[in-house]
Amino acid sequence: MELSDQEKDDASIVLVYFFGLHAESWNINENVIEKIGEMLWRDSNCTKVLDLLPRPGIVDKGYVIRQLRGIARRLASADHSYDICKTAIKYGWERVVYMASEGI
């Protein structure tokens, strides 16, 4: 399957988001698309886990009740990624995706 120019541009935007401007020059191929899918799945899972964590404080019944609204709001927005998730993706996947872009 041949990727369109728009699909390649979109993939490049995702790569730059995670890895920085140097990723803009990487070749986009089907292997890279596959790796992006795996990365996004892992980022989504990381974000879901962090959304469920209460924020720092003394954990008692009142604290949990106060935190529920924030947890619910974070779960409902589902259009974000935590920096720690993004950083984990960067360090765990940059070499893998670059190698896929080179056909390795």
- Reported as a single tens digit per residue, the pLDDT across 10-35 is 999 999 989 999 999 999 999 999 99
Q: What total number of domains does the chain contain?
A: 1
Query: Residue 23 corresponds to which tokens in the numbers above?
Result: 């990723």
Specify the pLDDT at position 62.
76
Q: What pLDDT is attached to residue 13?
A: 92
Burial class (CB in 10 A: 0-12, 13-18, 19+), 14: middle
Q: Which domain holds residue 18?
A: 5-101
pTM, two decimals, is: 0.77
